[in-house]
Amino acid sequence: MGDTTTRALRADAERSVRAILEAAEQVLAADPGASMEQIAAAAGVARTTIHRRFANRQALTDALASSAARQLAQAVDDGRPDTAPPLVAMHRITANVLQVKSAWAFALSLPAEPGSEAAELQQEVALRCIAVLRRAQESKLIDEAADLDWVRRVYYALIGESLHGGADRDADPDTLAARIIDTLLHGAGPRP
Amino acid sequence: MGDTTTRALRADAERSVRAILEAAEQVLAADPGASMEQIAAAAGVARTTIHRRFANRQALTDALASSAARQLAQAVDDGRPDTAPPLVAMHRITANVLQVKSAWAFALSLPAEPGSEAAELQQEVALRCIAVLRRAQESKLIDEAADLDWVRRVYYALIGESLHGGADRDADPDTLAARIIDTLLHGAGPRP
DNA sequence: CGAAACTGCAACAGTGATGATGCAGTTAGA
DNA sequence: TCTAACTGCATCATCACTGTTGCAGTTTCG
């Protein structure tokens, strides 16, 4: 992981860290300026315990971003981006990412510090994403003249919008994923 | 405006208020947790002057949100959403909105307080937006089975994504608008 | 079992933001 | 021109958050 200089934590300490990270996600999503006190309360932990594990607020949010980025990268990998048929991969990846992003919306909205683990993972995810899109392009699913970087950004935006959801807040990830892929490939125009 | 109980400000006071709002946009966009002091410095004004005009940080951000929402509504109106041909209206509105949104990105990202002027304006804008989309639908530009609310959300997302722009940060609004409309209507799939 | 790690609690000092006020000097506008 | 409005500056009290430390009690793990 990020820090190889500190030795392994005891089992209960590990549990505390996870509880803190999950509480931070919840609390900071509702109020990005919330105090450590509020986070500690939500985690069922004393404020001093947080400070023992994370020197700064910065250190906490960094860890939060890394943790979430790792889960996101895992979600993409689980979709077999290199081997599954492009359409299948896109669907699976989208559904997986939707779940991770809805659980770690705040952490993934954090601006990745240049050079951080989170930044590297985000970069890796972006590359895998473009790779899938290229395979889709080669399969004639995407126009050969399309700018894949723009397509990727649109894809990200569609995922983000799906999570702001009004009526479909609690909809099935597969249903949402299907709509995202359909919109990405065909837009809103009339069907042939 | 929002407050009809206070009498009109003197010309220089009005100027100060505008400077403060513009500075707040700039500073808070870079750091949402910035202090009043920083905003005052950016506005070329003493911190006490801000407190004389805006009791709270809340009051300041409310005014900021209202001001920006008014400009956004104006940008939509300027596109003649009810009279111009749908495709022309969409293009003009998009280009106008892109400019307003890039200048007031933070203010427009503020969660609108229920019942506030900003909330009402955002609602009005959304309705006008859907009205234009319906006209486009009647002109066969949008599939008759399309969910216009989803289309509107996608449209918003595309605008937002265009402003995060990497390479096209300084691109011509008309160029960006054209790409947005094209993507909205046709997606990334192969062209006939 | 027993040492080391971990935690809660209480207390502490330091920091910085907030909001208010009085006063003196400047500016707008009738 | 003359008054009322406006502003900068200095000052003040208050308050919340931060980060640290010591200690006593609990839990993990070899």
- The DSSP-derived string for A106-145 is HHHHSPPPTTSHHHHHHHHHHHHHHHHHHHHHHTTSS-TT
Rounded to an integer, what distance in angstroms lies between the CA atom of residue B147 and that of residue A68? 32
**Chain B window 2-61: which residues touch A at a Cβ cutoff of 8 Å?**
32-33
Q: Is the pLDDT of residue A61 over 50?
A: yes
Residue type, A33: G
B188·A161 Cβ contact <8 A: no
Q: Is the pLDDT of residue A11 over 70?
A: yes
State whether the beta carbon of B27 lies below 7 angstroms from any atom of strand C.
Answer: no
For B33, nearest residue in chain A (alpha carbons): A33
If one compares A169 and A51, the residue with the highest pLDDT of the two is A51
B111-163: pLDDT as tens digits: 999 999 999 999 999 999 999 999 999 999 999 999 999 999 999 999 999 99
User: Does B178 reach chain A within 8 Å, measured CB to CB?
Assistant: no
A89-99: pLDDT as tens digits: 999 999 999 99
Task: Look up the pTM and report it.
Answer: 0.93
Tokens of B102: 């890039």
Give, in order, the Cα–Cα distances in Å from A163 to each of A171, A178, A179, B13, B172: 10, 14, 13, 43, 30
* Predicted local confidence at residue B165, as pLDDT: 77
B183·A187 Cβ contact <8 A: yes
Residues of chain A positioned with their CB less than 8 A from the CB of B157: 157-158, 160-161
Q: What is the CA radius of gyration of chain A?
A: 19
- Read off the pLDDT band of B4 (50, 70, 90): very low
Least confidently predicted of A165-174, B34-43, B173-182? A165-174
* Predicted local confidence at residue B83, as pLDDT: 96
Which nucleotides of chain D does any protein CB come within 7 A of? 5-11, 16-22, 27-29
Question: Helix (H, G, I), strand (E, B), or coil: what is residue B58?
Answer: helix
State whether the beta carbon of A122 lies below 7 angstroms from any atom of strand C.
Answer: no
Tokens of B58: 């809340």
